[in-house]
Homo-oligomer: A and B are copies of this chain.
Amino acid sequence: MENFVFHNPTKLVFGKDTVEKIGEELRKNGIKKVLMIYGGGSIKKNGVYEKVVRSLHDNGITKVELSGIRPNPVLSKVHEAIAVAKKEQVEAILAVGGGSVVDSGKAIAAGYYYEGDIWDAFIGKYAVKKALPLYVVLTMSATGTEMNGNGVITNEETLEKLGFGSKYVYPVVSIVDPTVQYSLPRDQVVYGAIDAISHVMEHYFDVAGSALIDSIDEGIIRTIMSATEKVIEEPENYEARANLCLATTLALNGLTKMGTTGGDWSSHDLQHPLSALKPEVAHGAGLAVVFPAWMTYVKDLISEKLIKFGKNILNLGDDATAERTIDELRRWYKSVGAPITLKELGFTQEDVQKVTQIASKHAPLGKVKRLDTHDIENIYRIAYKF
């Protein structure tokens, strides 16, 4: 077990009919005016918008609205929001939506107090020193951003998709009401689940770890798998939905990171170029393809862990081998409707060259094996023809 520091100050308010509590949480902290950001308007269809607006009103909180934050959120929108926040002198950011909205909220919160371009925080030129308080009403569980200090934004000018992290952008309060997710499309649920499983796996297959956190990781992944199956069958099954939501939060709130070196993260690094080349590729869909390909490529280095994964998560018993574990994980991804080859995602052999080039910019990737261009190409080739 590696030494670690865990410090997660976010207040998580979880459960049925909790959206309505947002106004009270803001009021209790003395906030009177917020910039409320959201996406394409699904919150107006599922009733969340109305609940939030009423709760703000009932608690005497003024809002300025900014909508139109899209999946794979962009820097220009962040800039626009920062300008509005400054002009209107809001006291907090209220992000109502999924990971894209929350991540944008983090960049806006940090950008509010920075005189330069907040993109500097993403390229390592600025260490965030202050941020507006961020409040979250989560409408889609997947990325875990509701309970951590990280955000990912795409710079449309440079075509870079980068992340930043700061202790100042942990949400002050995050409200997770599983019932508002009943109406999510099946694909989004599945890809969100695979994203969360991948977050746990990046830590599970770290070069360091502990029996304790391994066992917690295994419980989280098992729960995500069984809850996802149930939610596909019964979208309004509260227990399954709540288990899935909470598991995705715990997957990336620092718990699974305890005692590791911080995770391997090469599969995430290999996924980003897929979505960069083909923006229609959902993050979770790309991960369903590249994570097993990475496992296959490095399997001799993680064979013990793969066998443990097969036994403790996939119920393979004494039949568990590294290969069977990977096969069974892919079989499960397929069973819930995820793609399992690059071909299925519409990639050609030429595309493999292109994503290799993009991914190689930041090589070497990962820790279990430091992946150079050659390794990266090999993994994409496995993912292509699996």
Residues of A within 8 A of B (CB): 1-16, 18, 210-213, 215-216, 218-220, 222-223, 226-227, 238-239, 242-243, 246-247, 250, 255, 258-259
Contact = CB atoms under 8 A, between A and B. Distances in A.
B13 A5 contact: yes
A283 to B, nearest CB: 22
Contact of A259 (B8, B11, B219, B242): B242
A284 to B, nearest CB: 19
7 contacts: A1-B15, A1-B243, A3-B15, A210-B246, A215-B220, A215-B223, A246-B259
A182 to B, nearest CB: 15
Q: How many copies of the chain does the oligomer comprise? A: 2
A99 to B, nearest CB: 20
Contacts of A258: 14, 246
Contacts of A243: 1, 210-212
- Indicate the member of A2, A9, A18, A215 with the most B CB atoms within 10 Å: A215
Given A212-B243, A223-B215, A5 B1 contact: no
A237 to B, nearest CB: 11
Contacts of A242: 1, 210, 259
Given A5-B14, A210-B242, A218-B219, 12 more contacts: A1-B243, A2-B15, A210-B246, A212-B219, A212-B223, A212-B243, A212-B247, A215-B218, A215-B219, A216-B250, A246-B258, A246-B259
Contact of A12 (B6, B18, B210, B226): B6
Contacts of A18: 3
Chain B CB within 10 A, most for which of A216, A223, A247: A216
* 4 A-B pairs with least C-beta separation: A3-B15, A215-B219, A7-B11, A212-B223
A199 to B, nearest CB: 15
B14 A4 contact: yes
Contacts of A259: 14, 242, 246
A239 B226 CA distance: 31
Contacts of A218: 215, 219
A255 B4 CA distance: 18
Nearest to A241: B1
A247 B246 CA distance: 20
B219 A239 contact: no
